[in-house]
Structure 1
Amino acid sequence: MVRMSAEERRESVIRAAITEFSRAGYNGTSTDAIAKRVGVSQPYLFRLFPNKQAIFLAASSRCLADTRRVFSAAAEGLEGEEALGAMAAAYQRLIADDPEKLLMQLQMYVAVAAAEAAGDHAFGEQVRADWVELWETVHLHLGADVNETTTFLAYGMLVNVLVSMGFPAEHRIWSGFYPVARPVQE
Structure 2
Amino acid sequence: MVRMSAEERRESVIRAATSEFARGGYHGTSTEAIAKRVGVSQPYLFRLFPGKKAIFLAAADRCVDDTIRTFQEASEGLEGEEAVHAMAHAYTEVIAERPELLMLQMQMYVAVAAAEEAGDHEFGEAVRTGWMRLWDTVHLPLGADLNETTTFMAYGMLINCLVSMGFPPEHRVWEGLYTSARLEGRLEK
Equivalent residue number for residue 85 of structure 1: 85
Equivalent residue number for residue 62 of structure 1: 62
* Alpha-carbon offset, residue 168 of structure 1: 1.6
* Alpha-carbon offset, residue 165 of structure 1: 1.2
Equivalent residue number for residue 146 of structure 1: 146
Deviations 1:104-132 (A, max 9, x none): 00000000000001111122211110110
Higher mean C-alpha deviation, range 162-171 or range 85-94? 162-171
SS at match of 1:141: coil
Q: What is the root-mean-square deviation of aligned Cα atoms in Å?
A: 1.3
SS at match of 2:77: coil
- CA distance in 1 between partners of 2:122 and 2:31 (Å): 21
1:44 paired to 2:44: yes
- CA distance in 2 between partners of 1:29 and 1:167 (Å): 25
Equivalent residue number for residue 7 of structure 1: 7
Deviations 1:12-68 (A, max 9, x none): 000000000000000000000000000000000000000000000000000010000
- CA distance in 2 between partners of 1:33 and 1:129 (Å): 28
Tell me the amino acid that sits aligned with residue 45 of structure 1.
Answer: L
1:102 paired to 2:134: no
- CA distance in 1 between partners of 2:37 and 2:166 (Å): 27
Higher mean C-alpha deviation, range 99-108 or range 168-177? 168-177
Identity %: 72
Structure 1 residue runs without a partner (length 5+): none
Q: How many corresponding residue pairs?
A: 181
Structure 2 residue runs without a partner (length 5+): none
- CA distance in 2 between partners of 1:153 and 1:62 (Å): 19
SS at match of 2:36: helix
SS at match of 1:28: coil
Tell me the amino acid that sits aligned with residue 158 of structure 1.
Answer: L
SS at match of 2:101: helix
* Alpha-carbon offset, residue 80 of structure 1: 0.7
- CA distance in 1 between partners of 2:96 and 2:119 (Å): 35
Tell me the amino acid that sits aligned with residue 135 of structure 1.
Answer: W
SS at match of 1:26: coil
Instruction: Show structure 1 runs of 4+ deviating over 6 A.
Output: none
Equivalent residue number for residue 119 of structure 1: 119
- CA distance in 2 between partners of 1:46 and 1:114 (Å): 24
Equivalent residue number for residue 168 of structure 1: 168
Tell me the amino acid that sits aligned with residue 75 of structure 1.
Answer: S
- CA distance in 2 between partners of 1:14 and 1:161 (Å): 24
Tell me the amino acid that sits aligned with residue 166 of structure 2.
Answer: G
Question: Normalised by the size of structure 1, how large is the TM-score?
Answer: 0.94
* Alpha-carbon offset, residue 102 of structure 1: 0.5
- CA distance in 1 between partners of 2:138 and 2:47 (Å): 36
